[in-house]
Amino acid sequence: MATSVRMMAKPDLKRSLTIAGHRTSLSLEPEFWDALKQAAAAQSKSLAALVGEIDQARDGRNLSSAIRVWILQRAQQAG
């Protein structure tokens, strides 16, 4: 008899930021927002400044995906 575990997913949080002079909205899971805030604080940057840097280097990916990949790469480098 197989046991199934269901995890309740936290809903994405949508936030608006001003990046490079324009407003944009981002949807990320709460865990990614937390990791992004921690990274910004560790670099003594505002959240908008860090997202702006990720935005400039994202190579055609949508911004939410680029942020997730950036956080993953940061975690891999730290590990």
Tell me: the pLDDT tens digits for 38-75? 999 999 999 999 999 999 999 889 999 999 999 999 99
Residue 73: what are its φ and ψ, rounded to 5°?
A: -65, -40
What span, in angstroms and rounded, lies between the C-alpha atoms of 23 and 14? 13
Closest CA to 16 of 28, 30, 7: 28
Q: Is position 75 within any domain? A: yes
Q: Is position 71 within any domain? A: yes
Q: Is position 18 within any domain? A: no
Domain of residue 72: give its range.
Answer: 46-79
Number of independent structural domains in the chain: 1
Contact yes or no for 52/19 (Cβ under 8 A): yes
Place of tokens 């407003």: 23
Q: Is position 17 within any domain? A: no
- pTM listed for this prediction: 0.83
Two tokens at 69? 């990949």
